[in-house]
Amino acid sequence: MMPGVILEQAYIDRIAEGVKPLQNLASSSADVVYWPIDNEEIQPKIFVSYQWDVQTKVQEIRTFLELNSLWCWADLCIRGHSSMSTRSPAADPTTETLQNKIHRHMKAAAVVLSCFTPKYIHSDNCNKDLQLAKVLHKPLVPVLLHFMPWPPEGTTSSIRRFLCQFATIDLSNDRLFKRNLHLLLNRIKKSLKIKEL
């Protein structure tokens, strides 16, 4: 009679049952990526600048890049099934200021990915992020999520001159989005000096 062994085996069985949900998470579909809100362990190579009106597209781009081992930082806050930009008025003011995070992450990133829409062009986000990218001498990869002339009207002449040196990638409709994602990937890899696909 060995009740201790039976008790231990029952305990091990319960632990194994509890681990199964974790194994399911680890083996979940490859097209699902869970991002920590602000993981200091992973150094993002790409800083993503955007306006909240295209947050869903930004998440798709970010997922695609991270599935290709190109870690990104964008001020996205994932909460359950909904998401909210920390640039919105509902952002939590108790932690590091957003401007400090933006500055720190852009400085650490190797490339700035700017997602252009009419609202982005006329936003403070656009002017501040592009000015910071210019000051930090960051390579810029401009993406058009809405078609517009290049360089776009609505920014300062200094920013327009800065933008003139970069070719855009058009992701402005579903067909172009699917077709040009690999072009975006290769352009970023070229900026990072990583061998293209």
Q: Which residues of 119-135 are buried (b: 16+ CB within 10 A; e: fewer)?
A: ebbebebbbebbebbbe
Question: What does the pLDDT read at residue 99?
Answer: 84
pLDDT value for 12: 62
- Residue 163 neighbours by CB distance under 10 Å: 19
Q: Assess whether pLDDT exceeds 50 at residue 66.
A: yes
- Dist. CA 87–CA 147, nearest whole Å: 24
Domains of the chain: 30-191 (3.40.50.10140)
Q: Which of 5-9, 86-90, 109-113, 136-140 has the lowest mean pLDDT?
A: 86-90
| Distance, CA of 126 to CA of 115 (rounded, Å) | 9
Predicted pLDDT at 151: 95
pLDDT at 27 exceeding the cut of 80: no
